[in-house]
């Protein structure tokens, strides 16, 4: 039997659904939008550019986590149908 390393284990269906649906906090999303706009206008300081990079890394991490939660839910659904 092969272990699927993308499946999240030890979480309830509700917890997986919450992860699949999660978003950045409104304040973080607002800050990200502001930094992206200012970056397009080439108006970021070095500190703001670093903050933007950190927020984008957080978004990337969140996207992967959400995808893994959805994948796990999908696999659980298939397993219960079998």
Each residue's pLDDT tens digit, 70-79: 999 999 988 8
Q: To which residue do tokens 């970021």 refer?
A: 44
Mean pLDDT, residues 35-56 taken together: 98
Cα 1 to Cα 4, 9, 29, distances in angstroms: 9, 16, 41
What is the pLDDT at residue 2? 67
Q: Are 14 and 76 in contact (CB under 8 A)?
A: no
Dump pLDDT digits (tens) for 5-41. 999 999 999 999 999 999 999 999 999 999 999 999 9
Tell me, yes or no, if the pTM score tops 0.75: yes
């Amino acid at each position: 039997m092969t272990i699927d390393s993308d499946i999240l284990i030890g979480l309830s269906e509700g917890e997986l659904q919450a992860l699949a649906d999660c978003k950045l906090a409104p304040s973080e999303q607002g800050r990200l939008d502001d930094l992206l706009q200012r970056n397009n206008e080439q108006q970021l300081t070095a500190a703001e550019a670093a903050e933007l990079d950190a927020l984008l890394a957080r978004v990337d991490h969140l996207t992967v986590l959400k995808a893994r939660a959805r994948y796990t839910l999908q696999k659980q659904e298939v397993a219960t149908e079998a």
